[in-house]
Amino acid sequence: MPRENIYERELSGTKNVILELYVIILVELMEKWLKKVKFETRISKNQLQKEKIIFVGRSNVGKSSLIKLLTGVKIRIGKRPGTTVLPFKVKFERLDIVDMPGSGFMEGKTKSIQEKIKDFIIWYIEENKNEILFAVEVLDAKMFLEIVQRWERRGENPIDIEFFNFLSELELDPIVAVNKIDKISVNKRSFILDQICEKLGFSWPWKQWRDIIVPISAKTGEGFEDLWRNIFNRLKRKGRSDLIKYFRKTPYL
């Protein structure tokens, strides 16, 4: 056998071992984090909790990028799906902005681990719902419809729609931030946004739902003002308009 092929096989085997070790470590970290959160929840039930705004959505839709755009806080932004595997908190004096792990496909992670992460997200939201002011669900403008149709062809409920309904049932007044709108040509945007509305259970046209549906680009800052306004209005309805000070008035690009 040529020496190059032997080296390639050895390299491939090494990569597989490293990947397996990574997955094992990831699961252990999640379990330790979960135990820690449960413990902290028990000891702080009678203490004042900081209020939260959560960002949820499929992996690689730009949750971390949007938080950076809105707050100016630099957080780890990965190019691969599943970079955020545990909740990341942007901590302010009276508010936590929580970047939740991505749901759905994650590169290098088995379906079993993906399901565990999804169950963890659901547990976290239910456990903290009294401290969550509202949620921002981030969708990928370019990929959303294709992914939803793929799930529907398999006879499955798309996770993006499932999470929107879940957040609505918990009365977390979700904002739907349709990110990466810059990747959609201007003359096709209304059609795409109408289709997204329909999948989420809203009637056309999408513009009548501007208090829920917000097309935005974390890359260019387009739509920033609309998202900022929706965040401010929800804080105002909760009697916490003072917390808007933690959000920038202009996009951080």
Q: Would you state the pLDDT for residue 82?
A: 53
Q: Would you state the pLDDT for residue 59?
A: 87
Whole-number Å distance between alpha carbons of 118 and 125: 11
- Model pLDDT for residues 23-75, shown as the tens digit of each residue: 556 666 666 666 665 555 544 444 456 899 999 999 889 999 999 999 999 87
* 56-67 residues labelled b (16+ CB within 10 A) or e (exposed): bbbbbbbbbbbb
Whole-number Å distance between alpha carbons of 35 and 243: 30
Q: Are 89 and 97 in contact (CB under 8 A)?
A: yes
Whether this model's pTM surpasses 0.85: no
Average pLDDT, the chain: 84
Q: Are 214 and 223 in contact (CB under 8 A)?
A: yes
In the chain, % of residues over pLDDT 70: 74
Whole-number Å distance between alpha carbons of 52 and 91: 9
Q: Would you state the pLDDT for residue 16?
A: 53
- Model pLDDT for residues 127-186, shown as the tens digit of each residue: 999 999 999 999 999 999 999 999 999 998 899 999 999 999 999 999 999 999 999 999
Give the residue with greater pLDDT, 113 vs 101.
Answer: 101
For residue 18, is pLDDT > 70? no
For residue 13, is pLDDT > 80? no
